[in-house]
Amino acid sequence: MKIKDGYILKKVAGENIVIATGAARLSFNGIITFNEVGAEVFSRLDGTRTLEQIVDEIASIYNAPKNVIEADIKKLVGKMKNQGLLEE
Residue ranges per structural domain of the chain: 2-87
Q: Beta partners for 82? A: none
State in Å, rounded, how far the first CA of the chain is from the last one.
4
Query: Taking the alpha carbons of 34, 36, 41, 45 in that order, is the dihedral positive or negative?
Result: positive
Closest by CA to 40, choosing from 67, 63, 16, is: 16
Q: Is 32 left (phi over 0), alpha (psi -120 to 50) or beta?
A: beta
Q: Beta partners for 33? A: 17
> pTM for this structure?
0.90
CATH superfamily of 2-87: Coenzyme PQQ synthesis protein D (PqqD) (1.10.10.1150)
Give per-residue pLDDT as tens, 22-79.
888 888 878 899 999 999 999 999 999 999 999 999 999 999 999 999 999 999 999 9
- Residue 41 confidence (pLDDT): 97
pLDDT tops 90 at residue 88: no
